[in-house]
Amino acid sequence: VVLVVGNPANTNCLIAAKCAPSIPKENFSCLTRLDHNRARSQVAMRCGVPATQVKNVIIWGNHSSTQYPDVHHCLVNISGSEVPCYDAVKDDAWLQGDFISQRGAAVIKARKLSSAMSAAKAICDHMRDIWSGTPEGEFTSMGVYSTGNSYGVQKDLIYSFPVHIKDKSFKIVDGLPINDFSRSKMDATAAELIEERDTALAFLDL
Ligand SMILES: *[C@@H]1O[C@H](CO)[C@@H](O)[C@H](O)[C@H]1NC(C)=O
Ligand SMILES: *[C@@H]1O[C@H](CO)[C@@H](O)[C@H](O)[C@H]1NC(C)=O
Ligand SMILES: *[C@@H]1O[C@H](CO)[C@@H](O)[C@H](O)[C@H]1NC(C)=O
């Protein structure tokens, strides 16, 4: 398994995969777990629960400001019952605004929770999940190779998807309903990645 962390991580990962054609494309991944962990802890803080009680947030796309943290499929365990994130947070304006633009990340830093949110921890989380798998019914986020068969994301991009991991291999979690709000954000981050890929590949003559 190859994990690319250095930015621009998605495109660097794609270039690595193309330069090593003997390694299957599925064996390459890039890190979006830091963003995933951050999204999870922001929701947890809002709900007054530990981050372990928040599951199934999704980071779509590039590891950048256009990435889309999506909580339409996220559940928060509040005193023993699993509540959809939008109902638990009860602040749609925040979820569709500052939460996505990640102004909350600054709050986490200010509260000195950043060490728990470090890239090093995210790398360990990413690798541990590949090794041990994700619990049944749960998924995490990883930048992986798009074959063009999931969520209308163009083929030949490294794009962050929700993935379920079992027996040391990942599967994109397909078939989640996507509303118009999500669709436009997912397309915007894909468009950026396409542009970056095409520039990089032209430059490297790949
Ligand atoms: C690709 O990943 C699979 C599953 O983890 C592993 O068995 C295989 O050895 C890897 N291939 C290479 C060339 O690294
Ligand atoms: C994708 O994200 C990386 C890391 O933040 C950034 O360097 C790169 O410019 C982004 N790509 C685009 C096209 O925005
Ligand atoms: C939810 O949290 C409670 C503790 O508050 C725990 O006992 C229970 O197992 C959790 N449920 C799920 C589905 O994680």
Q: What is the pLDDT of residues 151-195, one digit of tens each?
A: 999 999 999 999 999 999 999 999 999 999 999 999 999 999 999
Q: What is the pLDDT of residues 75-121, one digit of tens each?
A: 999 999 999 999 999 999 999 999 998 765 665 666 666 555 688 99
d(CA 69, CA 58): 6
Task: Supply the CATH number for residue 19's domain.
Answer: 3.90.110.10
**The pTM of the whole model exceeds 0.85:** yes
Q: Specify the number of domains making up the chain.
A: 1
Q: What is the pLDDT of residues 114-135, one digit of tens each?
A: 555 688 999 999 999 999 999 9
Answer yes or no: 63 catalytic.
yes
Which residue of the set 36, 63, 73, 164 is catalytic? 63
Confidence category of residue 57, pLDDT binned at 50, 70, 90: very high
Taking CA atoms only, the protein residue closest to ligand 2 atom 14 is 192
Taking CA atoms only, the protein residue closest to ligand 3 atom 9 is 80
Full domain range(s) for residue 14: 2-204
Q: Which residues line ligand 1 (CB under 6 A)?
A: 1, 23-24, 27, 168-169
Q: Tell me how crowded residue 175 is: count the other CB atoms within 10 A of its CB.
A: 8
